[in-house]
Amino acid sequence: MNAPDSTTAILVLGFLWTGKTTLIEALSAELTRQEKPVTIIINDSGLINTDALRLADYETTAITNSCICCSSIDDLELALLKAKDTGKTIIIEPTGIADGTALSNLLRKHRIQWKTVSLTTWADLPHETSNNIQDIQLDLAHVIGITHWWSQETKIWLEEKYSETPVFLIPDISKALENVILADEDPNVFQSILAYPHQEFKEWWIPEKHERFPNTSISSQDVDCLFTTQWLEAIIDQLGPNLQRAKGVIGWRAFDVTCSTWFIQVIRWKSSDQEDFLTVIVKNPLENNSLKQMCIDCLNEHQDSTNSFGNTIVPREWKLSSEEIQQQTNKLLEQYTEYMALDQRYNELEKTYETNKDLPIAQKMTELKAEMQALWDDMKYNNPFIWLDYKLKAYAHLPEKKVTTIAELRKHCERETYICHKRLDYLNKVLKEKYAIDLQDDDSVAPDTSLAELLEKSSIIDLSHDESFMKERLAYEYFSLNGGTNKRENYVK
């Protein structure tokens, strides 16, 4: 038999919602810290690979809308061959319903040394059940990780059952990356997993019959509306206990839902031509077009009665992708830089004019004022996200003017004659009415809350897709009188 290839791989297994992608984020960050290159092969059953979006900081190969342990194993093989002999550690994440046998056989076939890290939670533990996906994943493991709601009893049970396999308690990844480690947690757990030796080849495994959980996908184009978190909650309520998982994209955010647990992440790199979409993984198949009918029912309920949605499902033309949001913010920042340059030039001329009442200087000052006014008139803040994002970035280099927290935003907008006071007042009025959020109340929003954190709240993002809010907001923002620009002059507190 030929010697093993020098290429190494990490196969990360785990049932739905055990934290595979989150662990891969941590392992990739640690490998990068060690100056070891990494390439990730990641599989998702949805229309768009949201897990790959989360790992966009690393080199990734996304295999989408299929399963690499059966229907798309050829795609995995091509990706493996491409990654071999590159000096990079290959990390593979299949879907949660992959038991890992076919993938292990493929790694063995190509003489790749690998270790399998299998994740489980107390809720997912098979407890001696037979022919179960979680059972097989744990049987194949070189390393076992316990995530979410673990206990020492869980660890002891696993160590007794899998006596030759090391068992690690995986900390809350977000806290671990901030060096917040609980007493029972290993602060070097990710280094320990990476340091555990890659295994020599064992026997060939015979894959069990593939247990399938049906999945159904729908895009916003299918129902010609924008998706919102409130709409998603209604769909999940209708699916009830049949739902195993829901994944997708709303606006420029990826979401991942299992039962009552939500993960939502802002995706600022979402392309302008990418539709919102929803993929649901269910225990029992849905009837044809039933997911689409659920969407239509929610739309009809919204149109026919007053309900908790408010006016949140809006026509497509109101939609701005994250790319368009970023373009508009960047344009505002460029305009601000240009405005400040004109303002500096005006101030210099004004000082000169004080000592030299020269008519050409006065004429130039008048021209500069007109140019500054035209530039100010052209600076448009088309939704609250753009306005707040602009405030955060425009003054970041000015310590005395920076707007990075709620307290600084309040101070920046405190002068009642200031147009930003009107913008904040209107935004806050709607936030209080719709979401019971009061930006001016310390008990509702702490003064030291970062503006970046506020921008990630679904309320700010959903308001940007709220037709009723947007129409009223833009009626203030684009108010014109006698052919002139009169922003917010029609707004009364």
pLDDT value at position 409? 94
Domain match, 332 and 481 both: yes
pLDDT value at position 406? 94
Domain match, 304 and 354 both: no
Element (H, E) at 108: helix 101-109
> Which of residues 132, 161, 195 is at a domain's end?
195
Domain of 285: which CATH number?
3.30.1220
Domain match, 239 and 141 both: no
> Which of residues 270, 297, 316 is at a domain's end?
316
Domain match, 178 and 222 both: no
Closest by CA position to 336, among listed 384, 398, 421: 398
**Residue 203 lies inside a defined structural domain of this protein:** no
Q: Are 10 and 36 in contact (CB under 8 A)?
A: no
pLDDT value at position 212? 60
Distance of CA 6 to the CA centre of its chain: 35
What is the DSSP annotation of 112-142? EEEEEEEEE-TTT--TT-SS-HHHHHHHT-S
Domain match, 250 and 185 both: no
Closest by CA position to 378, among listed 324, 334, 321, 323: 334
- Max Cα-Cα span within the chain: 95
pLDDT value at position 464? 77
Closest by CA position to 60, among listed 42, 48, 84: 42
Structure tokens at 4: 């093993």
From CA 65, how far away is CA 45, in angstroms rounded? Answer: 4
pLDDT value at position 187? 61
Closest by CA position to 149, among listed 68, 255, 259: 259
Closest by CA position to 455, among listed 271, 332, 322: 322
Which residues, in sequence order, are CB contacts of 24 under 8 Å at separation 6+?
A: 12, 40, 42, 55, 91, 93
pLDDT value at position 256? 72
From CA 38, how far away is CA 379, in angstroms rounded? Answer: 43
Domain match, 306 and 330 both: no
Closest by CA position to 89, among listed 205, 201, 193: 193
pLDDT value at position 481? 45
Structure tokens at 380: 């448009």
**Residue 247 lies inside a defined structural domain of this protein:** yes
Per-residue pLDDT 10s for the chain (493 aa) are 454 557 899 999 988 778 888 899 889 989 999 999 999 999 876 666 777 777 888 999 988 766 766 656 888 889 999 999 899 999 999 988 788 888 888 888 888 889 999 998 765 565 444 447 788 888 889 999 988 656 677 788 888 889 989 998 887 654 444 443 444 455 688 888 898 887 655 555 555 554 566 777 787 778 776 676 667 777 877 888 788 778 877 766 667 776 545 554 444 444 445 567 888 878 787 877 778 888 777 666 644 433 332 333 333 344 566 677 788 888 999 999 999 999 999 889 888 888 877 778 888 888 888 888 888 878 878 788 888 999 999 988 888 889 999 999 999 989 887 888 888 988 899 899 888 999 999 999 999 999 988 887 778 877 877 777 777 777 666 654 444 445 555 555 6
3 conformational bin, left if phi > 0, alpha if psi -120 to 50, beta if neither:
beta
From CA 111, how far away is CA 124, in angstroms rounded? Answer: 32
Coil vs helix vs strand at 401? coil
Side chain identity at 441, as an amino acid letter? D
Coil vs helix vs strand at 377? helix
Q: Tell me which residue range forms the domain holding 442.
A: 322-485
**Residue 86 lies inside a defined structural domain of this protein:** yes
Structure tokens at 21: 């992608």
Q: Based on the structure, what is the number of domains in the chain?
A: 3
**Residue 263 lies inside a defined structural domain of this protein:** yes
pTM over 0.95: no
User: Cβ–Cβ contacts within 10 Å for residue 368, how many?
Assistant: 17
Domain of 53: which CATH number?
3.40.50.300
Closest by CA position to 34, among listed 203, 188, 146, 233: 188
Domain match, 15 and 159 both: yes
Domain match, 231 and 348 both: no
Tell me whether residue 36 is exposed, middle or buried, using C-beta atoms within 10 angstroms of its C-beta: 0 to 12, 13 to 18, 19 or more: middle
pLDDT value at position 12? 95
Domain match, 334 and 464 both: yes
Closest by CA position to 388, among listed 431, 359, 354, 356: 431
Residue listed under structure tokens 């069990």: 208
**Residue 491 lies inside a defined structural domain of this protein:** no
> Which of residues 316, 337, 354 is at a domain's end?
316
**Residue 208 lies inside a defined structural domain of this protein:** no
Closest by CA position to 121, among listed 278, 285, 261: 261
Domain match, 189 and 259 both: no
**Residue 207 lies inside a defined structural domain of this protein:** no
Domain match, 153 and 239 both: no
Domain match, 113 and 15 both: yes
